[in-house]
């Protein structure tokens, strides 16, 4: 999972699997809370799923800033490309 496209596909598949959404609804512009009806509990599940996929934890504070699927893609892209902290 290195490119925006790969991250988007993985994220879309996760949203479809975890929350039983139609794949057509999951677009980069889709608002997580309004369009996809993701709530705070769902967001925690999504953060956990991202951690399992990337091996890195997306901080809850960082996740609070995201509004759209595209925002999540950007946050994950930064996460996977960040230097490993030692």
The residue with greater pLDDT, 53 or 32, is 32
> What superfamily does domain 4-81 belong to in CATH?
ACP-like (1.10.1200.10)
3-52 confidence digits (pLDDT tens): 999 999 999 999 999 999 999 999 999 999 999 999 989 988 998 998 89
Structural domain boundaries in the chain: 4-81
Q: Does the pLDDT at position 86 exceed 60?
A: no
Q: How many CA atoms lie within 13 A of 53 on its CB side?
A: 22
- The sign one gets for the Cα dihedral 40, 63, 49, 5 is positive
């Amino acid at each position: 999972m290195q490119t925006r496209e790969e991250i988007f596909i993985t994220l879309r598949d996760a949203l479809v699997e975890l929350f039983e959404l139609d794949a057509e609804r999951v677009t980069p512009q889709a608002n997580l809370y309004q369009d996809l009806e993701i709530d705070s509990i769902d967001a925690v599940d999504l953060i956990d799923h991202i951690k399992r996929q990337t091996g890195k934890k997306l901080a809850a504070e960082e996740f609070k800033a995201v509004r759209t699927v595209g925002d999540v893609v950007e946050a994950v892209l930064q996460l996977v490309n960040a230097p490993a902290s030692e």
